[in-house]
Structure 1
């Protein structure tokens, strides 16, 4: 499909490519109890966004959600027993560095269907709001960020409970205006893997833009990041960050339920002194209306745990929840 512009772009863009989002426009819109409006998950080229314009009244009795539709998680890769316990922040998984979660920084993300994950960006350094991967022996991964930063991944494996702090670094919190940008939640990094089937992180949530004259919500609206899975022997993945909910309502907005953009939990492990994952950061919610009757939740994700409650730093073994305790809520 070819797109021809009738006017120049309002601002320059440095990116080599762009996603064009087709916006559905309605006179009035009702999402019925059994109905669900969601986005195609972001695949590196397209997806991750819902955009709806309603000239009149919008009623949500069903569900609008972009859970886990955002930036992708670091993909689990079983290395060959190589691991680096030095200060290196950026290497590839095949050299013993678990994959980073996807963030806004320009990097050649590789996951399912994107080529060889062994050559993906790896190491404990974050990728802006993408969480860093576990480093050294079985360290946990960092959580993704958006309105709030992610949490740091847990320590490397140690039989005497004092493993080094080589967990993935936290995905950064992002400061931006929702009036100018829609941002996807950052993906959690992958934990260092030698034996487990999967140490991938949680995927970040997508973004939604809704404009209506009035908004009535009796159903659910959420943009929650994904939680990382449990591992048996290896470092666990970081949680995905909550996404962005942008609501522009010219008159009254009322909601019977809380609208959520929460971060996902870091992964836990059933083995002692193995690094759990850091939590995913809370999302970003914006509501502009003349009369606000809605409430919001943008909680940060919790850190995972390991099996020894007496290990250094306790059951979390160096893994931290996302910080601060919530993302950003703007109600001007």
Structure 2
């Protein structure tokens, strides 16, 4: 795995936009691929994540613009293993997974799904001394830092997804209209209004880009008449509404023209196993050239390790971005905090200097003596402990502050919602990484009395050994032998075991971790079918025939005409044998060859159609 350094930070992930998924949920087509941090390789782990979906339910020009009633697939994610992939000009074009994806993802024009490499670091431990960050979200990919450690993560550095999430709204075109306070435009294509922050709905409609209304968890932009501020983005808690706007009075505009805060998504994080980047803050409206854009939301960090050892001052942060302060114009709203997911069995502190933070960004302040519009504060992010919660150090989710509407801060925009640390959660993991990912398991027959078990793994984590097991009845199992595992690996590994004491029975592979945890392969059956009961009836025939004593799971069946040409049969398995259709065949003599890998038998069939 290659790692690239940008200034002080390293990017370790690769990213690709999922442009389509096949009906079996096993194959994805890719575009916008970036393998700057690490590449998509057969046998490697990846994360599939629905970043945005077509969930907007209210598009009328009112304060309800940007509401939703159904989260659909937004926020779903899971781990998968690459079985194979294709490339075009050395860039991955399609990926096939070892098994179907569990979730149903949406890849329409108002949706975004991405696939992210999930590198397993360490041999077996990984010491972090610098800073790891994701690629910033660009509307298609990025925003997610995700990795596992083969054993222990030793923290002496930083994991930083600050401001890497949904993008803040743009500032308006410089425009002045002395027509009083008009706060009735919630969605428009008019760039004289502040731009909306980005969120979990992917907007491709220009009429939704500007105006006061939020767009799901993206903060609303500043109103045009005049100098409305941008609102804060939302995540676990809502974003704050912006200040009122300018009308040359101490109170400012009435009715207000500031943006409306992005919605909270707490219900779906708590109860539906969803994960979100922080919503972007709305952009301010300007007529003097001083407004600020909305702050970007925080990104997502996913960590999976056996333990985390804190050996020095370290941090794990996914904060929303603060909006910049302004003079006599509307200020931008703060981005919402992102999401941090930590799955570890143990925390070991040799230093208590660890900060885990997903705060909302602050709205921009107005540094002018007359009331304008400060930006709304960003909502809290989420910090989710899947296993062992942090018992030392500092864990904080805090809403961003609303910006001051004027010098001296006699009034302020609204801060993001919620109470301190509302977003600190202990939740069961939505998806887990299996210690061993079985890629394939097959049986081969060197001779009548032997069976060769052949299996391969796509990845292994803490794998001590494999135990080959056999059963006569599929219920009671006995161990045949042990095969040493690789411990920790990424990439395809192959194993085999030769059973010589009899080939009939059920077989499976038991995998055992160093800590005693176990998992199992699928079960395969090997049977020596007795050909004493093999027969075809009726024979001759002018319709369907029953081939008694045939089980298509363990035999191969072929049909040839009197010229030796292969005929493709239509077969249906029954408990007593196989039904074969012959109505469409020409009259004549046919030969049915049955092969059970130990021996073969040929039966003559006469068709009289």
Distance 2:185 2:399 in 1: 28
Matches within 5 A, 1:2-81: 2-6=93-97, 7-16=99-108, 17-26=112-121, 27-32=124-129, 35-81=130-176
How far off is 1:306 after superposition?
Answer: 2.9
Say whether the 8 Å CA contact 1:225–1:264 is kept in structure 2.
yes
Q: Alignment partner of 2:316: what SS?
A: strand
Are the counterparts in 1 of residues 243 and 405 from structure 2 also a CA contact under 8 Å? no
SS at match of 1:18: strand
1:125 maps onto 2:217 in alignment: no
What is the 5 A alignment of 1:75-94?
75-81=170-176, 85-94=182-191
Alpha-carbon contact 1:103-1:128 (below 8 Å) kept: yes
**1:301 and 2:396 aligned:** no
Structure 1 331/256 Cα, relative in aligned 2: closer, same or farther at 3 Å? farther
Q: Is 1:97 aligned to residue 193 of structure 2? A: yes
User: Contact (CA 8 Å) 2:367, 2:407: kept in 1 or not?
Assistant: no
| Deviations 1:26-57, CA, capped at 9 Å, x for gaps | 2321101xx11011110001110000111200
Tell me the alpha carbon deviations over residues 230-283 of structure 1, each in whole angstroms, 9 at most, x when there is no partner.
111210000011110000012336553231111111001112210110101111
* Contact 1:196-1:231 within 8 A present in 2 as well: no
After the TM superposition, which residues 153-168 of structure 1 pair with which residues of structure 2 at under 5 Å, given as runs? 153-162=242-251, 163-164=253-254, 165-168=256-259
Q: Is 65-74 or 161-170 further displaced after alignment?
A: 161-170
**Equivalent residue for 2:277?**
184
TM-superposed CA distance for 1:309, in Å, is 4.9
What's the Cα RMSD here?
A: 2.2
| Contact 2:291–2:330 (8 Å) recurs in 1 | no
The 1:109–1:253 alpha-carbon spacing in structure 2 relative to 1, beyond 3 Å, is farther
Change (3 A) 1:127 1:205: same
**Which residue pairs with 2:359 in the alignment?**
262
Alignment partners' CA distance in 2, 1:290 and 1:233: 49
Q: 1:145 aligns with which of 234, 257, 261?
A: 234
SS at match of 1:30: strand
Q: Which residue pairs with 1:288 in the alignment?
A: 386
CA contact (8 A) 2:360 2:398 kept: yes
Q: Which residue of 2 aligns with 1:115?
A: none
Residues of 1 paired with 2:387 and 2:183: CA distance? 52
1:253/1:293 contact within 8 Å kept = no
The structure carrying a bigger strand percent of its residues is 2
Q: Secondary structure at the match of 1:315?
A: coil
Q: Is the 8 A contact 1:308 1:315 kept in 2?
A: no
Q: Which structure has the higher relative contact order (CA within 8 Å, separation 6+)?
A: 1
SS at match of 1:177: helix
- Residues 306 and 87 of structure 1: CA distance in aligned 2, closer, same or farther (over 3 Å): closer
Which TM-score applies when normalising by structure 1? 0.88
What is the alpha-carbon distance in structure 1 between the residues aligned to residue 128 and residue 401 of structure 2?
Answer: 32
What is the Cα deviation at residue 194 of structure 1?
A: 1.4
Give the alignment of 1:305-320 within 5 angstroms.
Answer: 305-307=404-406, 309=408, 314-316=410-412, 319-320=413-414
Bigger Cα Rg: 2
Aligned to 1:116: none
Secondary structure in 2 matching 1:3: strand
Structure 1: unaligned runs, 5 residues or longer? 111-118
Paired with 2:134 and 2:200, the residues of 1 have a C-alpha distance of 19
CA 1:230–1:120: 2 relative to 1, 3 Å: farther
Q: 8 Å contact 1:148–1:283 — kept in the other structure?
A: yes
Residue 20 of structure 1: how far off its partner (Å): 0.8
* Per-residue deviation, 1:21: 0.2
Give the C-alpha shift of residue 201 in structure 1.
1.1
Measure how far apart 1:158 and its partner are.
1.5
Give distance in 2, aligned partners of 1:109 and 1:64: 35
Tell me which stretches of 4 or more aligned residues in structure 1 moved more than 6 Å. Answer: none
Indicate how the Cα distance of structure 1 residues 91 and 253 shifts in structure 2: closer, same or farther if over 3 A, else same: farther
Query: How far is the alpha carbon of 1:120 from its aligned partner?
Result: 6.8
Q: Give the SS at the match of 1:300.
A: coil
Mapping 1:234-249, distance limit 5 Å: 234-249=329-344
Closer/same/farther in 2, CA of residues 261 and 91 from structure 1, 3 Å limit: same
- Paired residue secondary structure (2:366): coil
